[in-house]
Amino acid sequence: MVQTTKGIVLRTIKYGETSIVVNIFTELFGIQSYLVNGVRSSGKTLKASFFQPASILEMEVYHNELKNLQRIKEFKWGYLYENVLSDVTKNSVALYMVELLQKCLKQPESNIDLFQFTEDAFMQLDIADNAVTANFPLYFCLHLCHFFGLKLEDDYSEKNSILDLQEGKFIKVTPHHPNFLEKDYSYYISQILKVQHPGDLTEIKLNKSIRRDMLFALQNFYGLHIQDLG
């Protein structure tokens, strides 16, 4: 059956001499694999450019729930980036977001709310200024986890100033395990959790070292709660 759906490209693998297999997070069917023939043949390199990681496409696809490998009938840009595919910094952030999605999306099931959040996140990254771009991986990590049942409740306070990554909540006393963030880092997490629109990230002033430590901590948080994250 032919269906029309949007999709976000996650990964492309060469297949044979001229074809590719593409993992795409679709709006209607969740994560799916598609065989695309002939896009690497002479004179068709432009078509292959559609399947760069983070590309947002509108597609007509042949969908059969009994098959692991689907086919695409037609495709075109769903959103044409101005910066994400060409700017080195933004492309690095986009690839980080793509990899995190790949590791979290396990089953080919529809999650329209997650798709719409993700699509909007990539589009917001495309138009973000430098200050927003710098904080964008933290924003994406913290808001993405909500869709996988890992919502962090923003109940930070002077008393509850330690973020327990195993329990996913702010607590009063340092836990008896290493998976936690101390007061300063917990405060920054709380501030980013309050951000509802990426443009507001410009108000959160962090240096490179703090961002790196917080990202490592959040990756640890994902690894504690999502099986086989890697």
Average pLDDT over residues 106-120: 93
Q: What is the pTM of this model?
A: 0.93
- Per-residue pLDDT of 57-107, as tens digits, reads 999 999 988 888 999 999 999 999 999 999 999 999 999 999 999 999 988
State percent of the chain over pLDDT 70.
97
Percentage of the chain beyond pLDDT 90 is 79
| Separation CA 22–CA 11 (nearest Å) | 6
